[in-house]
């Protein structure tokens, strides 16, 4: 049959695997051939500009059209080329570009075995140190760097998903001038003139606009250029910036400092609107690790107070959460400060509940002087940050839980101000040559600047944009140079603790992208210098004593440069007590702007993994809602799906309502980053754009918004059906077992109530104890902070398809692990829980019993195998799965066409095709890899080598909170056994007697005895 | 009145028999067809850019498998030799043989020779060479008499039933690890016509099953239950 | 069988029931009346028009399936958690309908219900077509229908076989067995009538065709003797079979752990439901057919009323099933079961559940009144209502149970798409297309069996005559 | 047509035509008790006691069905055992390989299937069908045998058969007509 044959040859192919043979030969021949003639050959193959131009002629201009007339042929050519180029990066032993692989990397590559390289991913100037897995020189997976203090093996969702950006088929493919294809040489020729002119006038007309830069090399380059051309200016802008933090520091210390926390030593944490447990907050990966490490009820447990405006995953983890409008948080802070003995200029009046709460909190803080910390959110005004510094100082936390260092940011200038100046200069005709290095200011600049119009006006003679996509900004600049992805180019960056990492490429630029470094070399008139040269030169200067080569290799190998971590510096808080800003009108509706949890400021709009990543609280995908609280909704008679118009000083945006439990009353939250017009196939046109309402006067929250229903209806695609454990009929389901510390001490085994005795079955139980391995998993609900990392990690590891808005709306998303969020109690201030749900790998698996063709059966090691190639797709297994963890390919969800995706996929995991059921496999490909290694070893060495805890599943490995542990239940000392031995251990829906291999450690909160939640409810009710 | 001629009775009965026969035949044909080279590619000699003869290189020159298939002991993928490997010798000998031109061309241009793949399992099957080699499965157990193949071809069907034959009874096929790459290896035999001893750790075996069981213990071969679990090959 | 229970020639006074065959008929007239529909009656415009309508319905089905094979099951409304939708609903519905025929011919035959003789033939045909419609779904609802043959055990190069613990495999065997046996049963019943048609036909081609089908049946006493044994045995085998089929179908649900599926009452109440809908369909077809083809003499008010009584009885059993389901939901105290009950009554699909109760339980109570049992119009309407009701029952069981099961986080909603509807309506078109053809090419009532109902068909004990 | 046309072989038999099942039944009794053994009776529907009347009492259909039914059941059960226990035993949801309760249904269905098919096929086979051609069809009136006429046939193969005397005997049964059946 046709489909049949197609099936044999087609869909079940794993492109990666397919590729192996050819790749192997390419690699091998690259490996063996020696220098020069090899170079020539690659030039012929792909290097030369002629080739590129010829190839790119196939792409019509203008992203919008070429999305349709997407030339496969052209792409395959590129791929052919870049594959070879990829090889080049990997293994030619060219002296000047040695890449030192990580631990497992063999001296020269073994085909079929992955290699691991240390590098760093940068967001908002802060580097996340990572290890990248490379299969046949194709980067296929991002992991955290276990040896780096800023990661300890964990990552955040953006780092995980950055891999997809590398292979994004919508990336800019070529240098363009006014939309026409040009070559890189053509560009350098074209700008040489203007640059030399500028040289004459000390660069008076030169403006460089970058995003936050923490790369010492790049900063150095720019500074050198500015030294040579004193009139030139360097502007920095980023919409999600830390202006308030820096201003606050100036206010307190007279200088900008980096504030770093050590949460592992903090017994009491008070967060004033700080979402420090979610990606995007500098250092969050480490903070999550430290925070989670103190959530073990059997050890010293910390206590978290969160006063927040827009509900966040951090708030959901709080032992005491207080929803307050953003503007009112300052008031609380002053009372808190007073309570902690900080002389406060004002003592504003608070509601009973607030006072009650703040008093308890401040008392708790004082009881834990030196072992507590107050953290303030980036979007709270400077004064508040200054106040927090004083409180921390007063509590004696400085040097214990709070540290001040040099700013990580190389140019901590005020972002909005900096952009203001630039726009003034442009309007004033002072700018002749504008270099925009990354970012997308046309889309995300403060509304009042009207950056787009400024750019459109021909005031600027020459506008050059370096960017990965042909986006809103690119079309307004004459020259667009495709920016190299961080896995394609050399650079360096600093982590939140100041430690510098070398960003080393794993693959040559797929589309000849260039890095900011290279652009600056053109500007500085030092062409030919590669990123590698620059970075190496810079560190050569920094390096003192010792053999540089070994230092360099070590730095690359470890993933960071030893001794670059900033030492804490002593700064003294000035006595001045910060004045509080005018209290906002209590009746006016407050409008909040927040970065989107998934697509940040909009830069990830075209990243399918992130677009489809359910946002931690709402579980929304592909859209940004207009978020309001339950009270407000009932007052305004608004319900889900209603589309409303939000108006602020005459500017309007339209968006669908989302009623979020725990959202403060009389306040609206808009999320930035959506409504892109030139993002690409995934991002364009999703959601609504909130930037037009956002001004530099009120970048985070403004008062006096208007909400008017439009009568339209819009369906938001949320992946979670129902968000409380209490069913509509009023009964409660024991899904997340939870209690507080006191109760726990009294009854440690409280979670086990549902458990069924083993003998409660008609059948003789299968005995796994004789097997060499019995795989199992335990998930600590106390540690899990709902950061979503596991979802993206799993998606990347297991080649999970992205299905898009419509399919997600139908409930057909494909994530193998999901993080359920449940609310309990008062809707205006509920308790929140996160529960990651992978396949439970039940020993009495209901799914297996009903499969007519035996496509899902048990392995001898207790794995619930899913054999895709046997599956005929009756979906019976999914119906019969009480945990609903099975995912079905209702349509052809996998992209078989786009060559980039073929390169990206994990060669060890079958690509599932249409009509096939799939689900979490406990990363069976990793299990088998480790088993085979162990067995070959045991044969070679003649002793019994077994797989131990070094085997990690993708979700476990990337988890910053260490909330997931996986291992061999037949190994008495395995970590998973230790966890399962704990009294908190329980299995989900135990009464069904499915005997899950995945169990949970029940959640235990640590409320302040003086601040019992129930009494709090009474008040909020009153 | 009579509608049908006298003969129709026999025709009727005959036709019944014919139908039965046809149905049976059809079943048999399908059964066979599933196993023909047309489906399995077994024994099919595919055109190669260079008429490389394993027979010549292995039997004639006595080159070891691992000289070219470098990663076979350590990786899932045995490794296809880079052009350089060919050139190691062919830069000295047969330097201007016409049929070696593709090799030289590839070496000059840096474009790899595109061999057509001979031994192939479906893409949802994850076969790992290293584990088989290390547990004493000989090359020619699956690849057949490569040393007698002027042009490479796939010996076995490589269908699931083929793999299961061994996974269900490894003892029938295992051999001492040092014999894995030996193309001339014979299984131990002890019958009036032929007697062949294979010695492991000083002990001589004249029966494959005995040998196999001994090796199973020695090489810690996992239980049949383990190696017939689906995820052994399908992920 | 029938002939072994002679109906008294003169109807006893106390028995005022309408006879199962109107007086004034002879062996010849029966044969004539029935076979003339096939052999003599000209093709009417109305018939052609109706056929075209039904046939276009059938083609809509083919179109919908074609698109399904191209795109995948994603074109339907199914999703996670509602993995089964219209496909399985229709499957169960059709299979249920397919129960009447064999039940009438088998069970009623064993129970010596002579009134079955005139309705069994087209009831059996109806069964065959219904099963054919049902058979479409298990096949096409799979994600990879071109591999559905893996559900049959056959030696293969994978050395891998079906998983016989799965109710779906039981289904495969039950349904295919049922289809085959029904076909055999139906054909065996046809043989003597085919002979009649052969002998009555004038057109030589038609003669040959029926001649071949009749296989040279000549009504020899020996033939009849073996024939009756075989027929009796078939009836004996078909009776447990017909009961087993819907029991097995109900296992698809009862064996699972889904609240609302996992219940032991399913087998009996599925079977009752099947007979319920089956008879409804029989009546739906019988009423127009007898009107159009003047079969009132053979399909009398007696038949219709009896069918109505059967519907009333089975309807009550089904009602009892619903009640027990609800009762257990409350009585078990199991949070999931009790929520299921709540969800049916108050959940998003409450209106569907209500209309189910109304059309399946309350309205059919009208059958207590003789008026509704005998008025063909009302009988027809009520049968339609019951058919709808039984479809709703399957909808409730499948969709409402699945859409809110164990984990609140995984709840969902089911919205059928136009493709769902096209497939469903398409099968109805297919079903009626077959019926349309059947009534024209084969005797729609069993001539031979009708003849046995005539008084003159009954012989006295030979010996008495002899002396 | 007349039976004498066929020269090389004798007539197949003599056939008497009756109007009602009752007459046929009586005639059959008489003929049989008169010593004719190789006789047959034809009716458009089953007439009770007719088979007995012509001395045909037992048939083998039931036996065939029994045997085939048992074969079907066994093969069904053994197939499942072979698949689940012998050829490829796998752990399915922690159930034992030999989970016989799950095997009952298929066993049952196959019993019915084999039994049912054998009932029909056996009946036809024993009746020697299909047999599109048969001498009796040569009698023009026989086309009514499937309608409203009833026939009694005395085969020429019967030892007691004698064209003339048998015709006389049949006349005595007061049939509507007697015709010779050419073979």
pLDDT band at C467 (very low <50, low <70, confident <90, very high): very low
What is the pLDDT at residue D61?
92
pLDDT band at A576 (very low <50, low <70, confident <90, very high): low
What is the pLDDT at residue A514?
92
What is the pLDDT at residue A577?
63
Task: Find chain B residues with C-beta within 8 A of A868's C-beta.
Answer: 124, 234
Q: Are residues D71 and D93 in the same domain?
A: yes
Gap from B216 CA to chain C (nearest CA, Å) = 24
Look at residue A584 and tell me whether its pLDDT is greater than 50: yes
Task: Find chain C residues with C-beta within 8 A of D103's C-beta.
Answer: 164
The reply to whether B12 touches chain D by the CB within 8 Å rule is yes
Q: What is the mean pLDDT of residues B142-159?
A: 90
Gap from B3 CA to chain C (nearest CA, Å) = 7
Q: What is the mean pLDDT of residues A50-55?
A: 40
Look at residue A90 and tell me whether its pLDDT is greater than 50: no
Q: Are residues D32 and D89 in the same domain?
A: no
Look at residue A496 and tell me whether its pLDDT is greater than 60: yes
Query: Among D36, D73, D76, D105, which would you mutate to test the C interface (most chain C Cβ atoms within 10 Å of its Cβ)?
Result: D105
Q: Which residues contact A637 (CB under 8 A, 6 or more apart)?
A: none
Q: What is the mean pLDDT of residues D48-57?
A: 87
Nearest to A932 among B123, B131, B177 (CB): B131
What is the pLDDT at residue C65?
95
Report CA C197 to chain centroid distance, whole Å. 26
Question: C247-250 contacts: CB < 8 A, separation 24 or more?
Answer: C247/C271, C248/C167, C248/C170, C248/C171, C248/C174, C248/D105, C248/D109, C249/C91, C249/C92, C249/C95, C249/C171, C249/C174, C249/C175
Look at residue A43 and tell me whether its pLDDT is greater than 50: no
What is the pLDDT at residue C16?
55
pLDDT band at A108 (very low <50, low <70, confident <90, very high): low
What is the pLDDT at residue D163?
82
What is the pLDDT at residue A580?
63
CATH of C27-154+162-457, picked from 2.60.40.1180, 1.20.1630.10, 1.20.1250.20, 3.30.1330.10, is: 1.20.1630.10
List, as one string, the DSSP characters of C356-411.
HHIIIIIGGGGGGSHHHHH-HHHHHHHHHHHHHHHHHHHHIIIIIHHHT-S-GGG-
The mean pLDDT value of chain A amounts to: 85
- Domain of residue D77, residue span: 61-126
Contact A821, A788 (CB under 8 A): no
Q: What is the mean pLDDT of residues C270-298?
A: 89
Q: Are residues D53 and D71 in the same domain?
A: no
| Cβ within 8 Å, pair A936-B114 | no
Task: Tally the residues of chain C.
Answer: 467
pLDDT band at C227 (very low <50, low <70, confident <90, very high): very high
The mean pLDDT value of chain B amounts to: 89
What is the pLDDT at residue A581?
65
| Cβ within 8 Å, pair D94-A845 | yes
Q: If residue A177 lies in a helix (H) or strand (E), which one and from where to where?
A: strand A175-177
Look at residue A89 and tell me whether its pLDDT is greater than 50: no
Contact A930, A947 (CB under 8 A): yes
Nearest CA in chain C to B158: C157
More confident of the two residues D70 and C40:
D70
What is the pLDDT at residue A96?
33
Q: What is the pLDDT of residues D6-20, one digit of tens each?
A: 444 578 888 899 988
Q: What is the pLDDT of residues A469-494, one digit of tens each?
A: 999 999 999 999 999 999 999 999 99
Of the candidates C105, C188, C231, C241, which has an alpha carbon nearest to the alpha carbon of residue D61?
Answer: C231
Q: What is the pLDDT of residues C207-222, one digit of tens each?
A: 999 999 999 898 899 9
The reply to whether A869 touches chain B by the CB within 8 Å rule is yes
What is the pLDDT at residue A423?
94
| Cβ within 8 Å, pair A879-C84 | yes
Look at residue C374 and tell me whether its pLDDT is greater than 80: yes
Q: Which residues contact A525 (CB under 8 A, 6 or more apart)?
A: A195, A196, A199
Q: What is the mean pLDDT of residues C100-111?
A: 82
The set of chains that have 3 or more CB pairs under 8 A with D is A, B, C
Nearest CA in chain B to D144: B1
pLDDT band at D49 (very low <50, low <70, confident <90, very high): confident
- Of A491-500, A917-926, D173-182, the least confident: D173-182
Q: Are residues D68 and D46 in the same domain?
A: no
The reply to whether C169 touches chain D by the CB within 8 Å rule is yes
Beta bridge partner(s), residue A143: A131
pLDDT band at A575 (very low <50, low <70, confident <90, very high): low
CA atoms within 13 A on the CB side of A878: 30
Look at residue A991 and tell me whether its pLDDT is greater than 60: yes
What is the pLDDT at residue A5?
32
Gap from B61 CA to chain C (nearest CA, Å) = 38
Predicted TM-score (pTM) of the model is 0.89
Residues 50-109 of D with CB under 8 A from C: 50-54, 56, 59, 61-62, 65, 69, 79-80, 83-84, 87-88, 92-93, 95, 99, 102-103, 105-106, 108-109
Q: What is the pLDDT of residues A180-208, one digit of tens each?
A: 999 999 999 999 999 999 999 988 999 99
Task: Find chain D residues with C-beta within 8 A of B3's C-beta.
Answer: 132, 137
Look at residue A816 and tell me whether its pLDDT is greater than 60: yes
Is residue D33 situated within a structural domain?
Answer: yes
Look at residue A275 and tell me whether its pLDDT is greater than 90: yes
Q: Are residues D30 and D53 in the same domain?
A: yes
Query: Among A721, A733, A889, A993, which would you mutate to test the C interface (most chain C Cβ atoms within 10 Å of its Cβ)?
Result: A721
Nearest to C160 among B34, B157, B160 (CB): B160
The proportion of chain A whose per-residue pLDDT surpasses 70, expressed as a percent, equals: 87
Q: What is the pLDDT of residues C400-459, one digit of tens each?
A: 999 999 999 999 999 999 999 999 999 999 999 999 999 888 988 888 888 888 888 888
More confident of the two residues C24 and A32:
C24
Query: Among D85, D94, D97, D100, which would you mutate to test the A interface (most chain A Cβ atoms within 10 Å of its Cβ)?
Result: D94
Residue corresponding to tokens 């129960």: C99
Residues 246-275 of C with CB under 8 A from D: 248, 251
What is the pLDDT at residue A289?
95
Look at residue A895 and tell me whether its pLDDT is greater than 70: yes
The reply to whether A7 touches chain B by the CB within 8 Å rule is no
Nearest CA in chain C to A721: C411
More confident of the two residues A256 and A896:
A256
CA atoms within 13 A on the CB side of A114: 24
Nearest CA in chain D to C466: D26
Q: If residue A56 lies in a helix (H) or strand (E), which one and from where to where?
A: helix A49-56
The reply to whether A704 touches chain C by the CB within 8 Å rule is no
| Cβ within 8 Å, pair C408-A888 | no
Contact C163, D80 (CB under 8 A): no
Is residue D5 situated within a structural domain?
Answer: no
Contact B139, B89 (CB under 8 A): no
When divided into structural domains, chain D yields a total of: 2
Is residue D141 situated within a structural domain?
Answer: yes
pLDDT band at A3 (very low <50, low <70, confident <90, very high): very low
pLDDT band at A601 (very low <50, low <70, confident <90, very high): very high
What's the CA dihedral at C319, C325, C327, C333 to 10 degrees? -170
Q: What is the pLDDT of residues A624-635, one digit of tens each?
A: 999 999 999 999
Q: What is the mean pLDDT of residues C16-30?
A: 75
Residue corresponding to tokens 């819907």: C246
Nearest CA in chain C to A5: C146
Beta bridge partner(s), residue D153: D15, D40
| Cβ within 8 Å, pair A843-D94 | yes
Contact C429, C60 (CB under 8 A): yes
Look at residue A95 and tell me whether its pLDDT is greater than 60: no
Nearest to B75 among A8, A38, A112 (CB): A112
Look at residue B225 and tell me whether its pLDDT is greater than 70: yes
pLDDT band at A579 (very low <50, low <70, confident <90, very high): low
Q: Which two tokens stand for residue A593?
A: 């702007």
| Cβ within 8 Å, pair B160-C159 | yes
Nearest to B3 among C156, C158, C207 (CB): C207
The proportion of chain B whose per-residue pLDDT surpasses 90, expressed as a percent, equals: 43
pLDDT band at C391 (very low <50, low <70, confident <90, very high): very high
More confident of the two residues A91 and A349:
A349
Domain map of chain C by residue range?
27-154+162-457
| ipTM for the whole complex | 0.91
Q: What is the mean pLDDT of residues A671-694?
A: 92
The reply to whether A108 touches chain B by the CB within 8 Å rule is no
Task: Find chain A residues with C-beta within 8 A of D99's C-beta.
Answer: 763
Look at residue D154 and tell me whether its pLDDT is greater than 70: yes
The proportion of chain D whose per-residue pLDDT surpasses 70, expressed as a percent, equals: 95
| Cβ within 8 Å, pair A42-B110 | yes
- Of A367-371, C62-66, C107-111, C182-186, the least confident: C107-111
Q: Which residues contact C415 (CB under 8 A, 6 or more apart)?
A: C77
Q: How far apart are CA A252 and CA A259, in angstroms?
A: 12
Q: What is the mean pLDDT of residues C176-187?
A: 93
Task: Find chain B residues with C-beta within 8 A of A30's C-beta.
Answer: 110
Query: Among C155, C159, C218, which would you mutate to test the B interface (most chain B Cβ atoms within 10 Å of its Cβ)?
Result: C159
| Cβ within 8 Å, pair C244-D109 | yes
Q: Are residues D15 and D34 in the same domain?
A: yes
pLDDT band at D180 (very low <50, low <70, confident <90, very high): confident
| Cβ within 8 Å, pair C198-B160 | no
Task: Find chain C residues with C-beta within 8 A of D108's C-beta.
Answer: 240, 244
Look at residue C154 and tell me whether its pLDDT is greater than 50: yes
Gap from B7 CA to chain D (nearest CA, Å) = 8
Look at residue A832 and tell me whether its pLDDT is greater than 70: yes
What is the pLDDT at residue C363?
93
The proportion of chain C whose per-residue pLDDT surpasses 90, expressed as a percent, equals: 64
Nearest to A848 among D93, D96, D99 (CB): D93
Look at residue A110 and tell me whether its pLDDT is greater than 80: no
Q: Are residues D95 and D118 in the same domain?
A: yes
pLDDT band at A578 (very low <50, low <70, confident <90, very high): low
Q: How far apart are CA A82 and CA A87, in angstroms?
A: 8
Look at phi and psi of residue A622 and say left if phi exceeds 0, alpha if psi is from -120 to 50, else beta: left
pLDDT band at A24 (very low <50, low <70, confident <90, very high): very low
Q: What is the mean pLDDT of residues C90-100?
A: 93
Residues 81-120 of B with CB under 8 A from D: none
Nearest to B80 among A25, A857, A924 (CB): A25
What is the pLDDT at residue A582?
65
The reply to whether C244 touches chain D by the CB within 8 Å rule is yes
Q: Are residues D43 and D67 in the same domain?
A: no
Q: What is the mean pLDDT of residues A517-522?
A: 93
What is the pLDDT at residue A157?
95
Q: Which two tokens stand for residue C289?
A: 């057919």
Q: What is the mean pLDDT of residues A687-713?
A: 93
Look at residue D141 and tell me whether its pLDDT is greater than 80: yes
Nearest to D103 among C164, C185, C461 (CB): C164
What is the pLDDT at residue A33?
37
Q: What is the pLDDT of residues A860-885, one digit of tens each?
A: 999 999 999 999 999 999 999 999 99
| Cβ within 8 Å, pair C144-A873 | yes
The reply to whether A453 touches chain B by the CB within 8 Å rule is no
């Amino acid at each position: 049959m046709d489909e049949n044959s197609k099936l044999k040859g087609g869909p079940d192919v794993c492109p990666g695997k397919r590729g192996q043979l050819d790749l192997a030969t390419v690699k091998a021949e690259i490996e063996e051939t020696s220098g020069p003639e090899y170079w020539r050959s690659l030039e012929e193959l792909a290097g030369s500009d002629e080739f590129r131009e010829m190839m790119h002629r196939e792409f019509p201009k203008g992203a919008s059209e070429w999305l349709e007339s997407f030339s496969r042929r052209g792409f395959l050519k590129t791929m052919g080329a870049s594959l070879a180029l990829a090889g080049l990066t990997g293994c030619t032993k060219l002296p000047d570009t040695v890449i030192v692989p990580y631990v497992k990397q063999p001296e020269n590559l073994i085909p079929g075995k992955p290699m691991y390289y240390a590098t760093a991913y940068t967001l908002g100037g802060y580097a996340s140190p990572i290890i990248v897995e490379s299969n046949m020189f194709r980067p296929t997976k991002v992991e955290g760097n276990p040896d780096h203090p800023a990661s300890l093996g964990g990552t955040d969702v953006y780092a995980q998903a950055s891999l997809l950006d590398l292979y994004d088929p919508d990336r800019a493919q070529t240098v363009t001038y006014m939309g026409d294809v040009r070559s890189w040489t053509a560009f350098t020729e074209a700008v040489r003139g203007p640059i030399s002119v500028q040289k004459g006038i000390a660069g008076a007309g030169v403006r460089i606009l970058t995003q936050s830069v923490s790369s010492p090399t790049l900063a150095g380059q720019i500074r050198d250029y500015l030294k040579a051309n004193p009139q030139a200016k360097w502007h920095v802008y980023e919409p999600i910036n830390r202006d308030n933090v820096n201003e606050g520091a100036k206010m307190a210390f007279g200088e900008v400092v980096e504030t770093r926390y050590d949460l592992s030593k903090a017994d009491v944490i008070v967060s004033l609107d700080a979402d420090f447990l979610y990606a995007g907050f500098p250092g969050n990966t480490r903070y999550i690790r430290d925070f989670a490490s103190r959530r073990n009820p059997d050890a010293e447990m910390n206590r978290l107070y969160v006063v927040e405006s827009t509900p966040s995953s951090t708030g959901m983890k709080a032992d005491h959460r207080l929803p307050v409008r953003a503007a009112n948080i300052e008031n609380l802070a002053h009372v808190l400060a007073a309570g902690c003995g900080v002389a406060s200029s004002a003592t504003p009046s608070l509601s009973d509940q607030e006072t009650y709460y703040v008093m308890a909190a401040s008392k708790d803080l004082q009881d834990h002087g030196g072992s507590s910390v107050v953290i303030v959110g980036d979007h709270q005004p400077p004064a508040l940050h200054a106040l927090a510094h004083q409180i921390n100082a007063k509590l004696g936390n400085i040097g214990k839980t709070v540290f001040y260092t040099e700013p990580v940011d190389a140019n901590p200038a005020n972002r909005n101000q900096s952009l203001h100046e630039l726009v003034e200069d442009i309007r004033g005709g002072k700018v002749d040559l504008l270099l925009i290095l990354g970012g997308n200011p046309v889309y995300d600049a403060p509304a009042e600047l009207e950056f787009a119009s400024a750019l459109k006006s021909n005031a600027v003679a020459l506008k050059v944009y370096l960017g990965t996509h042909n986006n809103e900004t690119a079309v307004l600049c004459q020259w667009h140079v495709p920016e190299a992805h961080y896995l394609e180019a050399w650079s360096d960056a600093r982590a939140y603790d100041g430690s510098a990492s070398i960003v080393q490429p794993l693959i040559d630029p797929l589309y000849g992208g260039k890095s900011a470094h290279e652009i600056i070399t053109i500007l500085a008139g030092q062409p030919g210098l590669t990123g590698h040269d620059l970075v190496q030169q810079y560190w050569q200067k920094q390096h003192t004593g010792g053999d540089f080569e070994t230092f360099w290799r070590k730095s690359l190998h470890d993933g960071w440069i030893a001794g670059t971590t900033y030492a804490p510096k002593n700064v003294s808080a000035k006595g001045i007590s910060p004045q509080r800003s005018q209290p906002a009108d209590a009746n006016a509706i407050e409008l909040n702007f927040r970065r989107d949890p998934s697509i940040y400021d909009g830069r990830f709009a075209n990243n399918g993994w992130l677009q489809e990543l359910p946002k931690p609280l709402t579980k929304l995908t592909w859209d940004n809602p207009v978020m309001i609280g339950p009270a407000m909704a009932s007052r305004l008679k608004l319900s889900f799906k209603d589309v409303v118009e939000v108006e602020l000083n005459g500017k309007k945006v339209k968006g669908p309502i989302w009623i979020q439990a725990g959202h403060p009353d009389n306040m609206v939250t808009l999320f930035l980053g959506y409504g892109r017009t030139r993002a690409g196939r995934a991002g364009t046109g999703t959601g609504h754009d909130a930037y037009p309402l956002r001004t530099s006067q009120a970048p985070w929250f403004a008062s006096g918004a208007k909400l008017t229903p439009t009568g339209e209806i819009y369906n938001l695609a949320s992946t979670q059906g129902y968000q409380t454990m209490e069913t509509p009929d009023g009964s409660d389901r024991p899904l997340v077992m939870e209690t507080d510390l006191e109760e726990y001490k009294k009854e440690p085994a409280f979670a086990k109530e549902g458990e069924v005795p083993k003998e409660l079955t008609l059948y003789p139980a299968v005995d796994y104890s004789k097997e060499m391995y019995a795989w199992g998993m335990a998930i600590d609900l106390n540690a899990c902070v709902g950061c979503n990392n596991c979802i993206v990690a799993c998606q990347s590891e297991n080649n999970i398809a992205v299905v898009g808005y419509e399919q997600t709306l139908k409930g057909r998303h494909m994530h193998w692990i999901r993080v359920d969020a449940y609310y309990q109690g008062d809707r205006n201030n509920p308790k929140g829980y996160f529960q990651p749900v992978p396949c439970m790998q039940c020993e009495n698996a209901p799914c297996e019993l009903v499969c007519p063709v035996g496509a899902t059966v048990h392995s001898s090691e207790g794995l619930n195998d899913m054999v895709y190639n046997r599956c005929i797709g009756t979906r019976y297994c999914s119906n019969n799965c009480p945990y609903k963890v099975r995912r079905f390919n209702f349509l052809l969800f996998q992209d078989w066409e786009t060559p980039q995706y073929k390169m990206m996929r994990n060669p060890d995991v079958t690509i599932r095709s249409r009509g096939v059921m799939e689900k979490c496999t406990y990363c069976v490909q990793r299990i088998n890899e480790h088993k085979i290694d162990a067995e070959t070893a045991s044969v070679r060495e003649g002793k019994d080598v077994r797989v131990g805890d070094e085997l990690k599943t993708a979700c476990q490995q990337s988890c910053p909170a260490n909330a997931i542990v996986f291992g061999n239940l037949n190994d008495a000392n395995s970590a998973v056994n230790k966890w399962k031995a704990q009294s908190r251990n329980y299995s989900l829906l135990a009464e069904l007697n499915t005997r899950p291999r995945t169990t949970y450690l029940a959640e235990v909160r640590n409320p302040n005895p003086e601040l019992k939640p129930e009494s709090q409810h009474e008040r909020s009710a009153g | 009145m009579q509608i049908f001629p006298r003969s129709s009775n026999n025709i009727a009965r005959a036709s019944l028999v014919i139908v039965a026969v046809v149905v049976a035949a059809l079943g048999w044909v399908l059964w066979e067809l599933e196993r023909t080279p047309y489906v399995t590619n077994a024994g099919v000699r595919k055109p190669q850019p260079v008429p490389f003869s394993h027979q010549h290189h292995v039997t004639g020159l006595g080159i070891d498998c691992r000289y070219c298939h470098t990663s076979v002991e350590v990786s899932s993928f045995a490794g296809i030799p880079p052009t350089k490997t060919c050139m190691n010798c062919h830069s000295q000998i047969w330097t201007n043989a016409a049929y070696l031109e593709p090799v030289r061309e590839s070496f000059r241009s840096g474009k790899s020779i595109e061999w057509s793949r001979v031994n192939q399992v479906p893409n949802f099957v994850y076969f790992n060479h290293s584990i088989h080699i290390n547990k004493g499965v000989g090359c020619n157990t699956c690849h057949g008499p490569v040393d007698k193949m002027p042009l490479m071809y796939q010996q076995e069907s490589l269908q699931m039933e083929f793999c299961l034959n061994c996974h269900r009874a490894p003892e029938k096929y295992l051999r001492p690890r040092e014999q894995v790459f030996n193309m001339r290896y014979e299984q131990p035999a002890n019958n009036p016509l032929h007697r062949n001893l294979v010695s492991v750790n000083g002990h001589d075996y004249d029966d494959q099953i005995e040998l196999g069981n001994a090796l199973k213990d020695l090489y810690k071969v996992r239980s049949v239950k383990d190696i017939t679990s689906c995820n052994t090959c399908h992920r | 069988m029938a002939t072994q229970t002679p109906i008294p020639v003169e109807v006893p006074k106390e028995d005022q029931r309408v006879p199962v065959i109107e007086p004034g008929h002879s062996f010849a007239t029966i044969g004539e009346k029935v076979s003339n529909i096939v052999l003599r009656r000209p093709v009417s415009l109305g018939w052609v028009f109706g056929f075209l309508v039904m046939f276009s319905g059938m083609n809509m089905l083919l179109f919908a399936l074609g698109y399904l094979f191209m795109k995948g099951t994603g074109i339907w409304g199914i999703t996670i958690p509602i993995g089964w939708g219209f496909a399985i609903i229709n499957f169960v519905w059709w299979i249920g309908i397919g129960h009447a025929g064999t039940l009438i011919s088998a069970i009623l035959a064993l129970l010596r219900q002579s009134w079955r003789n005139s309705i069994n033939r087209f009831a059996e045909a109806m069964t065959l077509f219904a099963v054919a419609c049902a058979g479409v779904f298990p096949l096409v609802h799979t994600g990879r229908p071109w591999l559905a043959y893996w559900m049959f055990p056959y030696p293969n190069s994978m050395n891998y076989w079906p998983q016989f613990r799965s109710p779906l495999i039981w289904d495969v065997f039950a349904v295919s067995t049922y289809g085959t046996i029904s076909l055999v049963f139906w054909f065996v019943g046809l043989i003597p009538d085919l002979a009649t048609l052969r002998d009555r036909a004038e057109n030589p081609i038609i003669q040959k065709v029926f001649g071949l089908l009749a296989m040279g049946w000549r009504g020899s006493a020996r033939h009849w003797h073996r024939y009756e044994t075989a027929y009796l045995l078939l009836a004996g085998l078909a009776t447990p079979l017909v009961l087993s089929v819907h029991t097995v179908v109900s296992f698809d649900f009862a064996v699972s752990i889904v609240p609302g599926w996992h219940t032991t009452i399913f087998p009996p109440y599925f079977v009752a439901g099947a007979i319920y809908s089956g008879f409804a369909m029989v009546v739906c077809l019988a009423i127009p057919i007898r009107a159009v083809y003047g079969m009132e003499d053979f399909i009398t008010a007696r038949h219709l009323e009896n069918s109505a009584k059967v519907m009333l009885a089975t309807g009550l059993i089904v009602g009892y099933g619903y009640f027990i389901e609800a009762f257990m939901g409350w009585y078990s105290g199991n949070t999931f079961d009790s929520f299921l009950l709540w969800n049916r009554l108050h959940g998003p699909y409450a209106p569907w559940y209500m209309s189910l109760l109304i059309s399946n339980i309350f309205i059919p109570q009208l059958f207590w009144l003789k008026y509704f049992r005998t008025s063909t119009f009302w009988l027809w309407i009520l049968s339609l209502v019951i058919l709808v009701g039984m479809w709703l029952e399957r909808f409730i069981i499948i969709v409402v149970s699945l859409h809110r099961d164990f984990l609140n986080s995984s709840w969902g909603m089911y919205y059928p798409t136009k493709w769902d509807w096209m497939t469903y309506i398409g099968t109805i078109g297919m079903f009626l297309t077959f019926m349309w053809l059947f009534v024209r090419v084969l005797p729609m009532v069993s001539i031979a069996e009708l003849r046995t109902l005539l008084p003159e068909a009954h012989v006295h004990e030979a010996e008495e005559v002899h002396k | 047509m007349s039976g004498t046309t066929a020269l090389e072989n004798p007539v197949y038999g003599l056939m008497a035509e009756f109007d009602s099942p009752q007459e046929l039944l009586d005639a059959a009794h008489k003929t049989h008790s008169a010593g004719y053994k190789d006789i047959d009776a034809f009716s458009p529907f089953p007439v009770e006691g007719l088979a007995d009347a012509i001395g045909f009492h037992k048939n083998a259909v039931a036996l065939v069905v029994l045997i085939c039914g048992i074969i079907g059941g066994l093969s069904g059960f053994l197939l499942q055992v072979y698949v689940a226990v012998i050829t490829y035993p796998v752990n399915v949801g922690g159930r034992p390989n030999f989970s016989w309760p799950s095997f009952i249904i298929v066993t049952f269905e196959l019993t019915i299937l084999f039994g049912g098919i054998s009932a029909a096929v056996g009946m036809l086979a024993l009746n020697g069908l299909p047999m599109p051609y048969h001498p009796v069809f040569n009698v023009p009136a026989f086309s009514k045998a499937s309608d409203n006429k009833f026939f009694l046939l005395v085969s020429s193969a019967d030892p007691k058969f004698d064209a003339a005397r048998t015709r006389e005997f049949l006349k005595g049964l007061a049939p509507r007509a007697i015709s010779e059946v050419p073979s």
